Chains A and B, each alone.
Chain A
Amino acid sequence: MSSLRVTGLSVRHRKTLALDSVDLALGTGVHGLLGPNGAGKTSLIRVLATVARPSGGRVEILGQDSADRRGRSAIRRRLGYLPQEFGYYPGFTVREFVAYVAWLKEVPAAGVPAAVERAVARVGLADRIDARIRTLSGGMVRRVGIAQAIVNDPGVLLLDEPTAGLDPEQRVEFRELLRELGARATVVVSTHLVEDVAAACTEVALLDAGRIAYRGTPEALTALGTASDGPGDHPIERGYTAALRAHRGPGAGAREAVR
């Protein structure tokens, strides 16, 4: 049973097609969304987050149609979203900020204080819960962003580049949290750090130029890399480039930049 189903999804930005009739069905687990810059990762996440309207296609989340007004409200209550550009009120404390988002997500008022403390503890900021956000480091602010996304115990959690700004130790902790969240929720993580995917994801979707180029497990992608002689320092990186090349077809290799 898929908690998230996308059919024929297209997103157009002026004249360019950011997503080109994408079909995707995701269930419980951590799904890594990989792809070069401009492949459409953020466009896809913003549509799934009910923030951007697709130009065509259908999005069903947790059994509700996101084009329908009531359905959208129901989805939004069960949704967690960390945008790529995470905006916040610098004067708010961590506790105030996360509680504010809980209020916006219509978490029942009686449960808010406990939910806020739990979410902040899960991202490892319990000792800074009453600090103003402007006094926190970049990595801590990112973790506040993750805390606000999980405060309502979302059924679908959308994270756009969540590991940007985290140091290696924090990234290891974050992957642990991802695995934990993925046990019960459908987690979609967009990233360009292939190691994050290898370590924390149960499934990978590779986007290229608005289309799904590859879908499989991180193990399968690694195996693809082991079998190929493409560029990359790590088997899964080689798998990434090999999958991209296979999707783009023969002769396209010259266009492709090695990241």
Chain B
Amino acid sequence: MTDGNARIWHASADLVARYADGSLPEPDAWSLEKHLESCAGCAGRVSRAVRGTAAGEALTQVREAVLARAPEPLPVRRAGAPGALSRPARLLWAAGPAVRGAWLPAVLVVAAAAMALGHGGGFPGARALLLAVAPVVPVAGVALSYGPHADPLHEITAATPAGGLRLVLIRTAAVLAVSLPLLTLTGLLLPASGAPAAAAWLLPGLALTLGTLALASFVGCRAAAGITAGGWLGTVLLPVSAAPVGEATARLADRLAGCLDGAATQGAWAAAAVLSAVLLAARRPAYDRPARR
């Protein structure tokens, strides 16, 4: 036998033959078997040699007997069956439960009410009001699509490998994909009347949503959404509620300008969004850990 320590060696024809007929001493056989684990060429030659022996014949018989006993695999229906969907379609379908229930109608109502106020009612503060409410909409969507309080399937998803952060992110993406364009477009169609630009809420909306997800890893989705949405609405609306009725619109526009306008403010929102994303990534294990209950 060749030197077992050599880096490269291959089994000789004699070695293979002696292995197959069982006359090879045990240490040499072990050494050969170790080599076969990493060398496909020798493995093939040894396997062919062994197949010709009595052991090979026995193995063939066992294999045939097992195959004969095994049930026929059921015919697979390929065309038209859901599950054979393309990847994007599957993702959309996976996100489906996110935009079910009361949330989607609520978003449509917010958009429709803003339009009615702004155009039908001639209310000048319609865009300001929409901008004040908009960042809370995706946050509510997240709270209503994930977690033991919102998702009837949660007990089952919690026991699956994909039911953690991945599922939350897919559903959040669905919520954002509906609310961001819809509410921004609605804002664009409304008269500005001193309110910030229609797209000014996008970064705050994103930051609040990601902040909710990061916070949810500590306190759960429902409480986290309450904190971020309550925090935003409190900051924007509380000072306004103290103002006299006639000035409320102007005060709200001022307040929103303070929270949304300017490169520095928007930069701060972007930074908050990035920080939340980093925190969320770090807190990822919390999403697939069993609950303390």
Contacts and interface: CB of A to CB of B under 8 A. Distances in A.
B155 A83 contact: yes
Contacts, number: 103
Interface residues of A, number: 40
Nearest to A54: B290
B292 interface: yes
Interface string B162-184: 11000100000000000000000
Contacts of B155: 51, 83, 85, 87
Interface string A62-102: 00001001001100110101010111110100011001111
A53 B157 contact: no
Given A103-B162, A105-B161, A117-B77, A13 B293 contact: yes
A72 to B, nearest CB: 7
B162 A88 contact: no
Nearest to A104: B160
A223 B215 CA distance: 56
B74 A118 contact: yes
A114 interface: yes
A114 B163 CA distance: 22
A96 B100 contact: no
A47 B289 CA distance: 11
B155 to A, nearest CB: 4
Given A69-B285, A96-B82, A51 B161 contact: no
Interface in B140-197: 151-163, 167
Given A81-B159, A103-B90, A104-B163, A73 B83 contact: no
Nearest to B157: A104
B106 interface: no
A189 interface: no
Contacts of A13: 293
Interface in A1-55: 13, 47, 49-53
Judged by DSSP, the binding face of B is loop
Interface string B78-106: 10011110000010011001001000000
B40 interface: no
Contacts of B151: 87
A86 B100 CA distance: 19
Given A76-B159, A105-B160, A109-B90, A52 B290 contact: yes
Contacts of B8: none
Contact of B83 (A81, A85, A112): A112
A116 interface: yes
4 closest cross-chain pairs (CB), A and B: A87-B152, A104-B160, A112-B83, A53-B290
29 contacts: A49-B159, A51-B158, A51-B291, A53-B290, A53-B293, A72-B288, A73-B161, A76-B160, A83-B155, A87-B151, A87-B154, A87-B155, A89-B153, A91-B100, A95-B81, A95-B82, A96-B82, A96-B93, A99-B82, A102-B83, A104-B161, A104-B162, A109-B84, A113-B76, A113-B81, A113-B82, A116-B81, A116-B83, A117-B77
